[in-house]
Amino acid sequence: MSKYSFLCWDRINAGEFEQLCQAILGSLGFANLVRIGGSGDRGRDIVCNLTINVGKNLSFMTNWVVQCKHYCYSPTVSKLKDDLTKALQHEPDFWLLMTSASPLSPSVHDWLRAVEKKQFSFRILVMDGVEISRIILQRPVLAHDMMDRLFTDDRLETRQIMALMGKRHYDKALTTIQGFQGRATPRMAYLEACCRSMLAQRSKQNRTENVEKAFAALKEALGSGYLTQMNLTLGWPPEKVLYEIQSDPELQFLKDQDLSCFIKTLEASGYATRGEGGGCFVADTPIRFPEGIEKPISSVEVGDIVAVPSRPSKGAFVIGVSHVNENCVVSINDRVWCSLSQSLLTTWGWKRAVALQYGDILLGYPIIEPVVSLRYEQNTYEVYMIRLAEEHVFYASDYIAHNKLMID
């Protein structure tokens, strides 16, 4: 069982894991989902489509082949090579590996990145056990018929409450929470705040009382270790947890009722709720140049000309390179590591890395792809940023990046 997973993968079989993967893909916007599986699947456990909208009147459909690996350990290079070779006959745009194993071994990870551009005509993405666990822990309704087996006994009660909330049964969820007062956790207190906020929004009856008790429950959650609990459960750093609280639609009514109190409650946690820098990338992040070559951002120098979306063949002069230390970075699709405040272009506009969600579509060149992997690492990292003459936008690991903070 992963450090960040309270899911018991050995309690479900391979067919059920495929069923779970199909439900996850459906929740992320994939359509025409067909499970094939079995000995004659010709390298396909699931086939599906994802329509990507890149403008008001511009969209295109992408074809996906998905391999589901219900493994305890990382799949081997030889096995994945066979699966990828079989996938060629189906001419997909993307090949997605969904596995209960986590993480992939370094050798497998490096091999996939190395062969993607050299041997295969499609993009390769991986959603490992940590990513799948995070999605299920956030949306337990996806695993409703496997809940009693997937979740350990001490976490089952919380997931059952979340499942009720997922079905909008906030009154029943609140009653269930109140039945566990003797063994309440920070997570339970947070869920109570969400339930009371939604009940206050839905009905004027007891509205004032529900709002007051919702704020009290939110304060209790943050004061009793909610940030730590979510870090241990999902691997989220405090800044990510606070962002999710800020943007939680089930707490929107509290914000509408008393924004000042809401902000003060979050600030009492001791962490900033907004990044202040323009974002940065780790040292080996490849930066695209007009000639098609790439250089690590740490090797970019003043006077270099880097590729920019507005004039890809001419580029823009680098007029400054800076580097600082960050105590947390995030890996996006295992392609780029950046600070949480780094802004990247999506089909929804600019989004900071801390705000990215599974299923968001990242824009770049030559890639346009959904977010299927978000991995957070908390340590001290040296990160870099470049300043450009008359430009703020450039390509980092093929994604379109901004060198200023863009508030999403």
CATH of the domain at 51: 3.40.1350.10
Of 406, 373, 377, 366, nearest to 129 by C-alpha is 373
Claim to verify: residue 263 and residue 372 sit in the same structural domain = no
- What pLDDT does 121 receive? 87
Q: Domain for residue 50, yes or no?
A: yes
Clarify whether residues 204 and 317 are in a common domain: no
**Claim to verify: residue 67 and residue 168 sit in the same structural domain:** no
Same domain, 285 and 262: no
Separation of alpha carbons 94 and 62, rounded Å: 8
Which amino acid is present at 95?
W
- Shared-domain flag, residues 13 and 126: yes
Q: How many domains does the chain have?
A: 3
First and final C-alpha spacing in the chain? 35
pLDDT of residue 3: 44
pLDDT for position 153: 57
Note whether 16 and 124 are same-domain residues. Answer: yes
Which tokens belong to 182? Answer: 């003797």
The reply to whether 273 falls in a domain is no
Looking at residue 302, which CATH number applies to its domain?
A: 2.170.16.10
Assigned domain for 169 exists: yes
> Where in the sequence is the domain holding 26, given as residue range(s)?
9-133
Both tokens assigned to 158? 């919380």
Q: Are residues 18 and 103 in the same domain?
A: yes
pLDDT tens-digit profile, the chain (408 residues): 344 455 788 889 999 999 999 999 999 999 999 998 776 678 889 999 999 887 777 788 999 999 999 988 889 999 899 999 999 999 999 999 999 988 788 899 889 988 987 888 899 999 998 899 888 888 877 887 787 788 765 566 777 888 888 889 999 999 998 887 666 789 899 999 999 999 999 999 899 999 999 999 999 999 999 999 888 888 899 989 999 999 999 999 999 999 999 999 998 877 654 444 467 999 999 999 998 899 999 999 999 999 999 887 889 999 999 999 999 999 999 999 999 999 999 998 999 999 999 999 999 988 899 999 999 998 999 999 999 998 999 999 989 999 986 655
Residue 84 lies in a domain: yes
Instruction: State the angle between helix axes of 186-202 and 170-178 in degrees (0 to 180), rounded to the nearest 10.
Output: 140
- Please indicate, yes or no, if residue 143 is contained in any of the structural domains: no
Q: Are 336 and 383 in contact (CB under 8 A)?
A: no
Q: Are residues 262 and 336 in the same domain?
A: no
Is the same domain home to 200 and 231? yes
- Is residue 276 a part of any domain in this protein? no
* Residue that is last in its domain, among 232, 267, 302: 267
Residues 316 and 377 in one domain: yes
∠ CA 229-68-108, nearest 5°, is 80
CB burial of residue 13 (10 Å; 0-12, 13-18, 19+): exposed
b (16+ CB within 10 A) / e for 105-144:
eeebeebbeeebeeebebbbbbbbbbbbbbbbbebbbbbe
Our CA dihedral for 260, 262, 263, 265, rounded to 10 degrees, sits at 120
pTM check: above 0.95: no
pLDDT at 223: 92
Can you say whether residue 31 is alpha, beta or left, with left for phi > 0 and alpha for psi between -120 and 50 degrees?
Answer: beta
Local structure of 99: helix, strand or coil? strand
Instruction: Please indicate, yes or no, if residue 350 is contained in any of the structural domains.
Output: yes
CB 365, CB 312: distance < 8 Å = yes
- Residue where a domain terminates, one of 216, 243, 267: 267
Q: Is the dihedral of CA 334, 335, 336, 342 positive or negative?
A: negative
Q: Are residues 163 and 120 in the same domain?
A: no
What is the gyration radius of the CA atoms in the chain, in angstroms?
22
Crossing angle for the helix pair 226-234 and 186-202, nearest 10 degrees? 100
Residue 311 pLDDT: 86
Strand partners, 361: 370
Give the model's pLDDT for residue 178.
87
Is 141 part of any domain?
no
For the four alpha carbons of 396, 400, 401 and 407, in that order, the dihedral sign comes to: negative
- Last residue of one domain, picked from the residues 133, 166, 186: 133
pLDDT at position 256, please?
95
Query: 392 and 309 share a domain?
Result: yes
